[in-house]
A and B are shown apart, each in its own frame.
Chain A
Amino acid sequence: MDFDWVFFIEIFVGGLMSGIMYSLVAIGFVLIYKSSGIFNFAQGTMLLFAALTFVKLTEGGVSFWVALPVSMGTMVVFGILVERFMMRPLANQSLLSLFMATVGLAILIEGFSQYMWDSAIHGLQLANFLDLALLDPVNMTIFVVDYVEWLDILISKFDIFATIVAGTMILILAVFFQKTRTGMSLRAVSDDHLAAMAVGIPLSRVWALVWAVTGIIALIAGLLWAERVSVSFTLVEAVLKALPVILIGGLTSIPGAIVGGLIIGVGEKMGEIYLGDLIGVQGIETWFSYFIALVFLLFRPSGLFGLKIIERV
């Protein structure tokens, strides 16, 4: 039987689109890690909390253009609270203690979100708020490349929209980190806390800012995920998709998170469809992405773009 190239391209493109979604979650991990060296286990629950806050506001009749800044504001307040009540008291503790604090934070947010709002599944159709052709729910089926007759490739319009949003956000982050004074402060803190403090960079304010920015990223990622998978408890599991991404991309690199996401997105889809068919097993994509990450780690222990840390004894 001839190999179906069109189907292969569809899987490839579908994988890239899914990968972008994974990257969005992974970027949140990278930001916190770059600035404080902490692996933020609470990233997934931040997605849930942010998206749930937004969707409950809109369900309550609040308009999109009010709900969005209010949700962003909530995440900024959240960031400040985390810095004040978690980061600052634990500033001089070991990284493992800080990691465990984020585990506790994840459990707290998870319970609090469901207590404060609810545990039902909520739909989110951005088309109800934004008049964009890419979000048209009636006609968001296929994108046909009609100038190549044999090429009838399916690409979801919404996935194109998500890619544009994610790409824009990454550009903004890149400019923020490279060109602004605050961004450079963040990079300085991530390089060396003590040296940064010595030149007058306020550590507390920088940490609060990072958590706030991460909260806003969680909101954007949460909304895009929610459009695909609804707003429900399962948003927390987006973390499980992001872990292999940062294993591949490295915990310190935003480009790494993007490339890692794309590799995992394409890899898991190819694995599920081609390898799954070959070995006669279904549902392998949940673990196959981790398998890909482990293979990468064998050759690049710091990830594709991660910093190689050499400690002399």
Chain B
Amino acid sequence: MKTKIWITGIAMATAMAVTAPPVMAEGEVYIPMPVYRVGPYATGGTGYFGGIIDYYTLMNMTEGGVGGMKIIWNECETNYNDQKGVECYHRQKEFQGKPALFFDPLSVGISTSLVAQGRKDKIAIIAVNHGRTEGQRGDVFPYYFMPGINTYDEHSIITAYIGQLEGGMENLAGKKITLLFHGSTYGREAVEFTHMLCEKHNCSSEAIEVPHPGNEQTSQWLKIRRSKPDYVVLRGWGVMNPVAMQTGVRMGFPISNLIGNIWSNDDGDVKPAGSSANGYQAITTHPTGRVASVIDEIVEKLYDQGMGDLEDKSRIGSNYWNLGVMAGVIHLEAVRVAQARFGPDVNSAQVRWGFENLNLDTARLTELGANGLVPEIKTNCMDHVGGHQAKFMRWVYAETKWEVASDWIDGDVELSQAIIDAKAENAVANEGITPRDCNDPAQRDDFEV
């Protein structure tokens, strides 16, 4: 009996020591880390949050944190589940009396669920390269940011690329484009806009849903085989991506005409598909590989010293990990912008202002060692996206790497702005939002909106 009590005691003490959260001290800023390290979408989660953690760790080591404030974070497992993600937000929005500076869950469902709550709590919700697209309108959604590209940019850039492949946008006339989308809020976001794009360019379009998690797609690809599209745009996530490539090839669809979106472009998406993925093309805002000095520094100072968040070192430079590093750069730049105005110990409302006044041009990116990895991003009160351009890359199976397939292509901002404005006005009417006047300097510069 005594032995049992001892064992239980030791086990409990060990558990408490392992799980005890770090204690906040003066000179520290707190950023929550709503990760997903297990479950069907773990590849994305471990890569993205691994990249962020590695960048934060590097900054703590080399610069003592951000603006002299050490960065502290704690993890909460969301499993890419909306309900769990919202629970994590409530659990993590304050830590030892210090509010979170912002919340970046890498999930359309979670971030969309938190738009109103974030505003209420004055905590910016971050959705890099994705999100509720009308959230671009900072006058209506002051606490929601999608730095990089939004869904509409993404799909208009993909359509423009298909136009390039066809030898000009005019050659899209009469072509058929199928959107194969993940059965989720994220997946459905692009359906309406895909039809709008084809209306504009005289092509025909259809949208086919793949039920979550997307590990059985025979029916969907049989439909595609029946309708014989010229191109299939893959709006996948996690295991849905390699299964789409494998099933598509099995059904005789040419892989070079399967174009992946921003969440279908990781090495972890194409490698499991094996040779089926050879020639697959996908959009990206951030090249893969060791493309910037900040990545070399992370490798040298963390991974070569036996540190670093990725268990599998071969994932260094992979798409999701690079995206995570990119997100880390954007996060801390927003904090720095806020610190430049308000001093080092900033709060979440001030960091929101930082996100709204990002100016990551080539010169600044070079200073940060991120030129070549992070695209130029300039946000403002009316534009919480700030990038609106992307490139394409092609998977080379024999060399197990991506090759760049295009130059920078701009999104069709003109077409997307109309639908973004309509949706934003709808939100104003139905969600009881009073928009700011971004032309009024007083309202524009008021950080505590």
Chain A residues at the B interface, C-beta cutoff of 8 Å: 4, 7, 10-11, 14-15, 17-18, 111, 114, 118-125, 128, 137-138, 140-142, 154, 156, 158-159, 228-235, 237, 241, 268-269, 272-273, 282-283, 285-286
- How far is A282 from B210 in the complex, measured between Cα atoms in Å? 8
Say yes or no: A119-B225 contact (C-beta < 8 A), given A154-B251, A234-B239, A269-B219.
Answer: no
Contacts of B242 in A (CB 8 A): 121, 123, 229-230
- How far is A154 from B222 in the complex, measured between Cα atoms in Å? 9
Contacts of B216 in A (CB 8 A): 18, 229, 241, 285
How many chain-B residues does the 8 Å CB contact rule pick out? 42
Residue pairs across A and B with Cβ atoms less than 8 A apart, 8 shown, are A14-B222, A121-B238, A123-B272, A123-B273, A158-B250, A230-B239, A234-B239, A285-B216
Tell me the smallest distance from the CB of B205 to a CB of chain A, in Å.
Answer: 15
Say yes or no: A282-B209 contact (C-beta < 8 A), given A123-B273, A229-B243.
Answer: yes
CB of B311 within 8 A of CB of A118, answer: yes
Tell me the smallest distance from the CB of A93 to a CB of chain B, in Å.
Answer: 23
B414 close to A (CB within 8 Å):
no
Stretch at the interface among B39-47, B281-289, B388-396: B39-47
Would you list which residues of chain B between 426 and 441 have a CB under 8 Å from chain A?
A: none
B213 close to A (CB within 8 Å):
yes
CB of A141 within 8 A of CB of B272, answer: no
- How far is A137 from B269 in the complex, measured between Cα atoms in Å? 18
B60 close to A (CB within 8 Å):
no
- How far is A123 from B245 in the complex, measured between Cα atoms in Å? 12
Residue of B nearest to A273 (CB): B219
CB of B222 within 8 A of CB of A11, answer: yes
B274 close to A (CB within 8 Å):
yes
Contacts of A237 in B (CB 8 A): 213, 215
Contacts of A122 in B (CB 8 A): 272
- How far is A17 from B221 in the complex, measured between Cα atoms in Å? 14
- How far is A234 from B250 in the complex, measured between Cα atoms in Å? 20
B226 close to A (CB within 8 Å):
yes
CB of A121 within 8 A of CB of B268, answer: yes
Say yes or no: A123-B274 contact (C-beta < 8 A), given A229-B243, A286-B211.
Answer: yes
- How far is A137 from B272 in the complex, measured between Cα atoms in Å? 13
Contacts of A286 in B (CB 8 A): 211
B229 close to A (CB within 8 Å):
no
CB of B274 within 8 A of CB of A137, answer: yes
Tell me the smallest distance from the CB of B35 to a CB of chain A, in Å.
Answer: 11
Tell me the smallest distance from the CB of A279 to a CB of chain B, in Å.
Answer: 14
- Give me the 3 closest cross-chain CB pairs, A-B, nearest first: A123-B272, A119-B42, A282-B209
- How far is A161 from B103 in the complex, measured between Cα atoms in Å? 48
B151 close to A (CB within 8 Å):
no
CB of A234 within 8 A of CB of B312, answer: no
Say yes or no: A120-B252 contact (C-beta < 8 A), given A228-B246, A230-B239, A286-B211.
Answer: no
Say yes or no: A114-B38 contact (C-beta < 8 A), given A119-B46, A229-B216, A230-B243.
Answer: yes
B183 close to A (CB within 8 Å):
yes
CB of A137 within 8 A of CB of B276, answer: yes
B271 close to A (CB within 8 Å):
yes
Say yes or no: A120-B211 contact (C-beta < 8 A), given A14-B222, A285-B219.
Answer: no
Please tell me which one of the listed residues B208, B218, B252, B275 contacts residue A18 in the complex, with CB atoms under 8 A apart. B218
Tell me the smallest distance from the CB of B409 to a CB of chain A, in Å.
Answer: 28
- How far is A154 from B225 in the complex, measured between Cα atoms in Å? 9
